[in-house]
Amino acid sequence: MNPNLVSTDWLAERLGDPEIVPVDGSWYLPDAGRDGAAEFRERHIPGATFFDINAVADVSSDLPHMLPSPEVFSEAVGALGIGSGSTVVAYDGAGLFAAARVWWTFRVMGAAKVYVLDGGFPKWLAEGRPVEAGASRRQPQRFEARFDQTAVKSADEVAEAIAAKSAQVLDARSAARFRGEAPEPRPGLASGHIPGSLNLPVQEVIGADGRLRGEDELRASFRAAGVDLGQPVVTTCGSGVTAAILALALEGVGARAAGLYDGSWSEWGAGGRPVATGPAKIS
């Protein structure tokens, strides 16, 4: 099993442990018609707190849910009842979607013990596990972020990596969006992809049950996408959310992402950067 996943059994056995913090990071694309915060208030894992990726973010940026400063992050998650020594278990209402972004964010900010709940809230509910309603009742804690700048890539760094062939850039968007055959869900963005990048739609690493696929299936998916797992991989997507799922999947095959392009296509496709269309050129 991926070392970053914990089972519903594991979490259920530890409910009530003050050091274990279930973190609901549910976030959905606008066309999903779902509200993560409202769903949390309706029901959530007992003892959980809600992490809003749009609020715990760089709100001064025009780009969606960009990483906040370490100082802003520390203050925000401390207020949520998460301390530096807490064991964070991220989950979401889709099974595996925004929880991976929460996992990645805590990792970037130096959290030593952070995991993703395998199967997420859908699996928890299907097994008849306990839930509670209302706002979180966790008491504030002290969190001191230790920011890992190397894990976050800028547009210039992505362009340089492709030009120098120092890293593979792997895009999690759908094949139709990558090829430029489908419009972007956000207005004002070009259709297509970063020239020289590869495409592994996130749906290829998640099973029908909403769980991350096993190691053999993941390896096959990376291989089919033209990824050399022995070389550095930088992940990207539409706005930095599903790119984190690819980062999680890489660790499921014993690799590790060399970085995540936080601005992703929301930045690159907004203009001023070259755009390619059609399928990826796999060498």
Q: Domain range for residue 166?
A: 150-268
Are 138 and 175 part of one and the same domain?
no
Domains in the chain: how many in total? 2
In this prediction, residue 283 carries a pLDDT of 72
Is 153's pLDDT higher than 90?
Answer: yes
Average pLDDT, the chain: 96
Three-state secondary structure string covering the chain: CCCCEECHHHHHHCCCCCCEEEEECCCCCHHHCCCHHHHHHHCECCCCEECCCCCCCCCCCCCCCCCCCHHHHHHHHHHCCCCCCCEEEEECCCCCCHHHHHHHHHHHCCCCCEEEECCHHHHHHHCCCCCECCCCCCCCCCCCCCCCHHHEECHHHHHHHHHHCCCEEEECCCHHHHHCCCCCCCCCCCCCECCCCEECCHHHCECCCCCECCHHHHHHHHHHCCCCCCCCEEEECCCCCHHHHHHHHHHCCCCCCCEEECCHHHHHCCCCCCCECCCCCCC
Q: Where among 147, 177, 203 does a domain terminate?
A: 147
Predicted confidence (pLDDT) per residue in 203-260, tens digit = 999 998 989 999 999 999 999 999 999 999 999 999 999 999 999 999 999 999 999 9
In this prediction, residue 31 carries a pLDDT of 81
Q: How confident is the model at residue 176 (pLDDT cuts 50, 70, 90)?
A: very high
Are 74 and 95 part of one and the same domain?
yes
Q: Where among 92, 115, 147 does a domain terminate?
A: 147
Examine residue 282 and state whether it is found in any structural domain, yes or no: no
Q: One of 237, 246, 253, 255 is an active-site residue; which one?
A: 237
In this prediction, residue 271 carries a pLDDT of 85
In this prediction, residue 275 carries a pLDDT of 97
Are 217 and 243 part of one and the same domain?
yes
Residue 237 annotated to the active site: yes
Mean pLDDT confidence for 189-203:
97
Are 186 and 139 part of one and the same domain?
no
Are 54 and 135 part of one and the same domain?
yes
